[in-house]
Amino acid sequence: MNLHLSTVILPHRRWQEGGRASWERAEQLGFHTAYTYDHLSWRSFRDGPWFGALPTLTAAAAVTERIRLGTLVTSPNFRHPVTLAKELVSLDDISGGRITLGIGAGGTGFDATALGQDPWTPKERADRFGEFVPLLDRLLTEDSVSYEGNYYSAHEARNIPGCVQRPRLPFAVAATGPRGLRLAARHGQAWVTTGDPKLYEEGTPEQSVRALRGQAERLADACAELGREAAGMDKVLLTGFTPDRGRPLESLDAFVDFAGRHQEIGFTEIVIHWPIPDSDFAADQKIFEQIAMEATAQLG
């Protein structure tokens, strides 16, 4: 299976001061998809400029024609399925059916407390995610939805005419634990992972590959329980969080070696961060663009 190469463009620049140019350039470079983070703020960028994901994607849809667009990832931390569904139907329409929703359970970062709540425990996040995803699925596929759950409700919520993409825009579900993997198997058109976070600081690339292989195997088991073939799901690796860190972007050869090892596991899409100077995502822009234009031809 051919490997897709995508990028994630953080929403940290004003649209007229380099933001727009990055999205236009991503399409020119031939990336499969350009994603952005859906956070209210994020880690080292918290005290600097940071813009909303869905308005940014709407603007990107207006200045591009072919490239797919999406979030990596949206979470229940500050989203509600009813309002999110309306925004997604609108965004899918504006883009002409080019939107993928990356969606995950969320974490303990700034988003977790920005609305004034205490951060949820891992179990609470999993419980909410388990309700959020099925309800959002219904909202994007049914004209009218009423639902009363433990965490979310909908009363005659309407999303007419629905998504351009049928039966709805694709979900790329981020998951590593058993409950999340079951959600991915049931509702996802793709599965997303960043690797094993326990290996980031002191693990080796070899340990990371083994951990990712194990995650992929557990996804296959979750699919099998539902009578689904895992081979039919796209498998997306968001890079930058494995022990390799930024080394795959040091040269074209380094990236091809990295991507090839993960393609062998079964990954169908590799996502690399658009370079940001003086950050964890610093990289040589020329090498980055060389990778974008030449890597997939070498990988087949």
Query: pTM above 0.85?
Result: yes
Burial class (CB in 10 A: 0-12, 13-18, 19+), 9: buried
Predicted confidence at residue 214, as pLDDT, reads 98
Q: Is 288 helix (H, G, I), strand (E, B) or coil?
A: helix
pLDDT at residue 1 tops 90: no
When pLDDT is averaged across residues 7-16 and rounded to a whole number, the result is 98
pLDDT in tens, 138-161: 999 999 999 999 999 999 999 999
With a pLDDT cut of 90, the percent of the chain lying above it is: 97
pLDDT at residue 131 tops 90: yes
Q: What is the CA radius of gyration of the chain?
A: 18
Question: Cα–Cα distance between 134 and 119 in angstroms, integer?
Answer: 23
Predicted confidence at residue 217, as pLDDT, reads 98
When pLDDT is averaged across residues 57-85 and rounded to a whole number, the result is 98
Predicted confidence at residue 202, as pLDDT, reads 93
Predicted confidence at residue 158, as pLDDT, reads 97
Could you tell me how far CA 243 lies from the centroid of its own chain? 20
Range of the domain at 269: 4-299
**Is the separation of the CB atoms in 266 and 216 below 8 Å?**
yes
When pLDDT is averaged across residues 193-217 and rounded to a whole number, the result is 97
Nearest 5°: phi and psi at 299? -90, -25
Structurally, the chain folds into a number of domains equal to 1
Residue 30 maps to which CATH number? 3.20.20.30
Could you tell me how far CA 219 lies from the centroid of its own chain? 17
pLDDT in tens, 80-107: 999 999 999 999 999 999 999 999 999 9
When pLDDT is averaged across residues 55-75 and rounded to a whole number, the result is 98
Predicted confidence at residue 198, as pLDDT, reads 95
When pLDDT is averaged across residues 241-258 and rounded to a whole number, the result is 96
Question: Cα–Cα distance between 180 and 45 in angstroms, integer?
Answer: 28
Predicted confidence at residue 238, as pLDDT, reads 98
pLDDT at residue 44 tops 80: yes
**Is the separation of the CB atoms in 235 and 222 below 8 Å?**
no
Q: What is the DSSP string of 113-136?
A: TTTSPPPPPHHHHHHHHHHHHHHH
Predicted confidence at residue 2, as pLDDT, reads 87
Q: Is 140 helix (H, G, I), strand (E, B) or coil?
A: helix
